[in-house]
Amino acid sequence: MTDLTLLSALLIGLAGSVHCVAMCGGIVGALSFSIPKDRSPLPFELAYHSGRLASYSLAGAITGGLGQLFSHQIAGGMAILNLLSGLFLLALALYIGNWWRGLSWLEKQGAKLWRPVAPLSKRFIPFKSPAWALPYGLIWGWLPCGLVYSSLTWSLAAGSVHQGALLMLMFGLGTLPALLTLGRFSQQLRPLLAHPRSKQIIAVLLAISALWLLLSPYVMAVEA
């Protein structure tokens, strides 16, 4: 996995921040109401997001491991995974650029699995300490999200458990600016991230990464 791949994962999270605010804004709002009024919110928020990123990394490790197993068991397995990952990355670029919204279907399917899991988070609120926000974030890290699902499909071709986890960690780090500043600097940050031109610039960069992922095997074959 190249530095370009990790940078693309970071860009996906950053470009999807507005989507994350729409999906998770209520959750972050509930988080703020669950923090004791006499305590600083930052340790609780950091614990919550640490849990969320841990869930992303765990999911990435699982998909990376499955992809590694598949590539070892099936002839041409890695080529198949690279093709699948490139197509999903291209679909994600179209989704972020608001040129095609087909990935919203994934969220609807994931919601069916999410319903029995969501109530578990209520056991940890209100928070008695930042440690209680950590499992809250671990649970909400599995919230159905087309961006997360697409990134997980991409991590199938990461090559290993470690690389899959690292890719999803980078994606999660990209979502942090908007979610950490929600309620503080959201008035300044949200217009920048939500601006169609900002999202489309990042979408174009992701589309280029997707096309490179799809075409690089053929380029290398021609050069050989």
In the predicted structure, residue 106 carries a pLDDT above the cut 90: no
In the predicted structure, residue 22 carries a pLDDT above the cut 60: no
In the predicted structure, residue 184 carries a pLDDT above the cut 60: no
pLDDT number for residue 205 = 80
Tokens of 180: 């950490």
What is the mean predicted confidence (pLDDT) over 92-107? 82
What is the mean predicted confidence (pLDDT) over 13-24? 65
The pTM of this model reads 0.83
In the predicted structure, residue 59 carries a pLDDT above the cut 80: yes
pLDDT number for residue 193 = 61
- The gap between the terminal CA atoms of the chain, to the nearest Å, is 21
Question: Under a CB-based contact definition with an 8 Å cutoff, are residues 142 and 60 in contact?
Answer: no
Q: What is the largest CA-CA distance in the chain?
A: 66
Torsion angle of the four alpha carbons 201, 204, 208, 211, in this order, in degrees rounded to the nearest 10? 160
